[in-house]
Amino acid sequence: MESKQKNARALALEVLTRCESGGYSNIALDTVIKRNELTPSDRGLMTALIYGVIERKITLDYIISSLSSIPNSKIERDTRNILRMGLYQLIYMKKIPAHAALNETVSLANKRSKGFVNAVLRSYLREGDKIAFPDESNKIKYLSVKYSIGESLAEALLEAYSFGECKNMLNAFSQIAPITLRVNNLKATREEIFSKLDGALLTGFSPDGIILENAAVSELECLKDGRVTVQDEASQICVRVLGAQKGDTVFDVCACPGSKSFGAAMTMENEGQILAFDIHESKLSLVEKGAERLGISIISTQAHDARKPIEELFGKADRIICDVPCSGFGVIGKKPEIRYKDVKESENLPKIQYDILENVQNYLKVGGTLVYSTCTILPDENENNIKKFLEDHKNFELAPFSVGDLEVESGMITLLPHTYHTDGFFIAKLVRTL
């Protein structure tokens, strides 16, 4: 058992090192899993360490700097990652005995740094409860260190939300996110799938979803054979707001990886036409393969920049899904690297989003529905874009919608994780009146 755990920790260190060099954690993790024969418990330990350390990096580094006389920037990369792993186990993985976490972590260090790692971890065990964390008088620093987010994100959130709302939101993002499935009604009913899944819950708003906690989703037969697909409830709600009907012509203008196209096809009972566009031609195979697995035949794909008009399609769509590229700050609970992205890197996105919306509205028939959505929680990418669009286009208006018990009279909503138990997500329903 000891050697297996040690191997899992060594592999976790390997992945964290790759991520420090700019690699994506999910890709690096998948590569390591494929190259190594791991027991389920080893795979679970390795995955928990990788995502946990990335998710808590700022907090862990603050603790390291409080316990060490050596500045973090002067600590070797591998040594710093080993310390992060050790502290993460001691602080957040209570099922691992402290002596095991300490000894196994120290064993990863090279001879030169072994004593240093041992000293820092033991110092935490003795004095960890005495560390002085930033208090709420400095709200930006407090949110950054406590919830491990970049200071630019903390500042942006505080501009958009109250301090209390920020804390509640970030606390929700810090919880382990369950997996949400969308039942494929072309192959099964929700009741049939739900009855066969132990410990499952029904989604609170979407009539199509099932929530699974602590499940090895990749092992589910219903996923392999296309009776379900993975889709967060917020995205499922978005598809329901679209209201696609049998026989409709639907455009999904930024489609990859295709979950909203799939959901629309299911609600249309695979009757009608869906054109799935995406600027990245290499990703369209994800849509095609996904549709085949799910038994969907009405989706056709095309590589295209949604900012550029296709005049022969003007006025042809009954409904449009406009899920624009965004900063992704609504999914930091599932993609921890986004926590540290500088908000300034996204400052050009609102214009790109608006240009897409400005172009694709031409494709909609009079009386048709366009759903604009993002997986971010920043107003400039969400309601501010919609307000500007409505000022510029008097032939469009927001339309109220409801999905399950969710009633949105204003026609647009930002779903927040602590309120709706979904990803952070924005939805606006626009109808063309003239």
Considering only CA atoms, which of 340, 346, 417 is closest in space to residue 153? 340
- Closest by alpha carbon to 359, among 314, 317, 391? 314
Let me know: does 139 contact 158? Beta carbons within 8 Å.
Answer: yes
pLDDT mean values, one per 10 residues, the chain (434 residues): 61 91 82 86 92 96 95 93 97 94 94 96 95 96 98 98 98 93 98 94 97 82 96 98 98 97 98 98 96 98 98 98 98 94 96 98 98 98 98 98 98 97 97 97
SS (H, E, C) the chain: CHHHHHHHHHHHHHHHHHHHCCCCHHHHHHHHHHHCCCCHHHHHHHHHHHHHHHHCHHHHHHHHHHHCCCCHHHCCHHHHHHHHHHHHHHHHCCCCCHHHHHHHHHCCCCHHHHHHHHHHHHHHHHHHHHCCCCCCCCHHHHHHHHHCCCHHHHHHHHHHCCHHHHHHHHHHHCCCCCEEEEECCCCCCHHHHHHCCCCCEECCCCCCEEEECCCCHHHCHHHHCCCEEECCHHHHHHHHHHCCCCCCEEEECCCCCCHHHHHHHHHCCCCCEEEEEECCHHHHHHHHHHHHHHCCCCEEEEECCCCCCCHHHCCCEEEEEEECCCCCHHHCCCCHHHHHCCHHHHCCHHHHHHHHHHHHHHHEEEEEEEEEEECCCCHHHCHHHHHHHHHHCCCEEECCEEECCEEECCCEEEECHHHHCCCCEEEEEEEECC
What's the Cα-to-Cα distance from 198 to each of 65, 73, 193, 259, 278, rounded to whole Å?
Answer: 44, 47, 10, 25, 37
CB 179 within 8 A of CB 212: yes
**CATH 3.40.50.150 location in the chain:** 234-432
Mind listing the pLDDT tens digit for each residue in 315-368? 999 999 999 999 999 999 999 999 999 999 999 999 999 999 999 999 999 999
53, 85 in Cβ contact below 8 A? yes
Cα(first)–Cα(last) distance of the chain, in Å?
69
| φ, ψ of residue 137 in degrees (nearest 5) | -65, -30
CB 147 within 8 A of CB 171: yes
In the numeric block, which tokens belong to residue 15?
């992945």
CA distance 119 to 267: 59
Catalytic positions are: 375
Q: Tell me which fold the domain 2-130 belongs to.
A: N-utilizing Substance Protein B Homolog; Chain A (1.10.940)
Q: Which of these, 338, 419, 337, 418, lies nearest to 175 by C-alpha position?
A: 418
Dist. CA 299–CA 287, nearest whole Å: 8
* Residue the block writes with tokens 């300034």: 344
Pairing of strands 425-432, 412-415: antiparallel
Amino acid at 409: E
The CA-based diameter of the chain, rounded to the nearest angstrom, is: 74
- Residues near 399 by beta carbon (within 8 Å), at least 6 away in sequence: 369, 411, 429, 430, 431
Report the C-alpha gap between 338 and 184 in whole angstroms: 30
Closest CA to 32 of 53, 4, 7, 52: 7
List the Cα angle 55/124/70 in 5-degree steps: 80
Provide the CA 106 distance to its chain's centre, in angstroms: 33
Residue ranges of the chain assigned to CATH 1.10.940.10: 2-130
Q: Comparing C-alpha atoms, which of 188, 63, 109, 153 is closest to residue 345?
A: 153
Q: What is the pLDDT of residues 224-248, one digit of tens each?
A: 999 999 999 999 999 999 999 999 9
CATH number of 234-432: 3.40.50.150
Q: Are strands 425-432 and 396-398 parallel, antiparallel or unpaired?
A: antiparallel
pLDDT at res. 332: 95
Q: How far apart are CA 176 and CA 178, in angstroms?
A: 6
Contact 58, 145 (CB under 8 A): yes
